[in-house]
A = this chain, B = another copy of it.
Amino acid sequence: MKSEHIPKATIARLATYIQVLSEFKREGTDVVSSERLAEACSVNSSQIRKDLAYFGEFGVRGVGYYVQDLITSIKRSLGIDRAWNCGLVGVGNLGRALLRHREFSRKGFILRGAFDCDPYKIGEIVEGMEIVCSRQLPAKVKELSLEIGIITTPPERAQRAANYLVGAGIKGIINFAPSRISVPSHIHLEYVDFFHHFYAAAFHIRFAEHQE
């Protein structure tokens, strides 16, 4: 209910809740109990109620949650009830794949700028977007009101990309490059590395084998 510190895990679960709630909506379910939602998300039902309690009271006692309302409430709580302008730095394989990824705009993250420092790439059009020199970041961040920077450079250039973005006044950075970077504490930084899921899978599979 009050905005004390909110666990990282809660944020991740809220994303899951939205996903599952959207499926319920598609199936035509209007109302859902925390119990039923919990089962679909493979979590405990008090977990759901507690996660939601950080942000407010969204349910009706004795009834449950109205699916559409809850989706709207969670989105507002997370701050994704509006669009976020994003700029992507590093137009390699991964960068291109992200630029092509429809889901971004559908989820409210609008890729408005693509940047690279390779002269051969500058000027090229990818998905209707012109690749711009990274040095122009300060101008473009202001012009396009970019708030979130996406780093998809090779690891050795990630820190420089971060510096450009920070200098240009970006508010948050999502780093897809496999290297640690440092930014001022007022910049929100997230690392994306899906390989740790593969590591986890490898570890658990081998551990299960080792058990017998």
How big is the A interface, by class?
35 or more
A61 at the B interface (CB under 8 A): no
**Known: A14-B199, A180-B41. Is A172-B103 also a contact (CB below 8 A)?**
no
Q: Shortest beta-carbon distance, A145 to chain B, in Å?
A: 13
Find out whether the CB atom of A11 lies under 8 angstroms from the CB atom of B200.
yes
Comparing A76-84, A118-126, A129-137, the segment that makes contact with chain B is A76-84
A57 at the B interface (CB under 8 A): no
Mostly helix, strand, loop or mixed at chain A's interface?
helix
Report A8-24 residues with CB < 8 Å from chain B CB: 8, 11-12, 14-16, 19-20, 23
A2 at the B interface (CB under 8 A): no
Residues of chain B within 8 A of A93, CB atoms compared:
97, 100-102
Q: Shortest beta-carbon distance, A103 to chain B, in Å?
A: 7
